[in-house]
Amino acid sequence: MTRRMLASSAVVIGAAALAPFARAAEKMRKKVLAYNPNATPKPPYSPAVAYGSLVFVSGKASYAASDPKDIRVCTKYALDELAKELKNAGSSMDNVLKVQVFLRNIDDYAAMNEIFSATFVKEPPTRTTVAAIIPRDSLVEIDAIAFI
Amino acid sequence: MSNESTPLTREFFSAAQPSPNAHIYTPVVGFGQLLFLAGKTSAKAPDPADVRSCTTYVLDEIEKELIAAGSSMQQVVKVTVYLRHIEEWAAMNEAYVGRFGANPPARTTIAAILPHESRVEIEVIAHR
């Protein structure tokens, strides 16, 4: 009788001790973000999503760059757009962990790298680069995972 | 419910038991509150030549994995969509919109050559 009471008390105390962690885990929800919330047409995705201290940024493509045919201009544009989105999320380019770079032409790799390495100077993020066909004939698209 | 001082370890989930190709990859790997899903291709869609049928099928398969891992479509934070044909972007979107709830995840879409001649492949990162 006594042992059973002790055991059930231990379960109750144990559950109560863990309750704050359980509540913290239950409360974490994703948060959708956009530095330009009035973009039209409304896209079928969120420009950024934060979860805890991580932020996931949708790919920034280069079709709206001032010279969409110049890979350097396009890369700078995509990275500037990324920086705006990160800043809006309370993060920054210094906090980027992982980047994916999609190039229309794999031969643009060196030129893209010039701009990329001038942007991520100290402790650059991890990165994977591939060539692919990108929406709206873009020369480059870049997405990122960062921390806040 | 994990004690903060216990180191995190990977957890493995699969809607299909046993998991096909288990020696090559795991459909879902969990780490802390995050879930990383392997891409789902569309070769087995009801109409593999129709990108809308393919997109719906792939999203249904993703939903099954998320539920089996204790998550949901509303808890997806990041999506990557791979299309065989970039021109099918609008049609893919028609089948995509609304599938992740009112607050859609972040997304990157590109065209690439996919396994099994798939027209669509989608991968997601979600939370529990």
What digits encode the pLDDT tens for the residues B107-118? 999 999 999 999
- What pLDDT is stored for residue B48 in this prediction? 97
Architecture of domain B10-127: 2-Layer Sandwich (3.30)
Interface test with A, best of B93, B97, B99, B110 (most A CBs within 10 A): B110
Any domain includes A62: yes
Radius of gyration (C-alpha) of chain A in whole angstroms: 22
Domain assignment of residue A51, given as a range: 31-147
Domain ranges of chain B: 10-127
Distance from CA of residue B92 to its chain's centroid?
14
What is the rounded CA–CA span in Å between residue A112 and residue B40?
30
The per-residue pLDDT for range A31-85, each reduced to its tens digit, is 999 999 999 888 999 999 999 999 999 999 999 999 999 999 999 999 999 999 9
What is the rounded CA–CA span in Å between residue A141 and residue A54?
21
> How many residues are present in chain A?
148
Tokens 């990162």 locate to B125
What is the rounded CA–CA span in Å between residue A112 and residue B109?
20
Any domain includes A42: yes
What is the rounded CA–CA span in Å between residue A146 and residue B25?
26
- What pLDDT is stored for residue B85 in this prediction? 98
Interface test with B, best of A58, A128, A137, A141 (most B CBs within 10 A): A58
What is the rounded CA–CA span in Å between residue A40 and residue A101?
25
Tokens 């009801």 locate to B46
Any domain includes A97: yes
> pLDDT category, A27, cuts 50, 70, 90?
confident
Any domain includes A8: no
CATH number, residue A136: 3.30.1330.40
**Which tokens sit at B100?**
């992740």
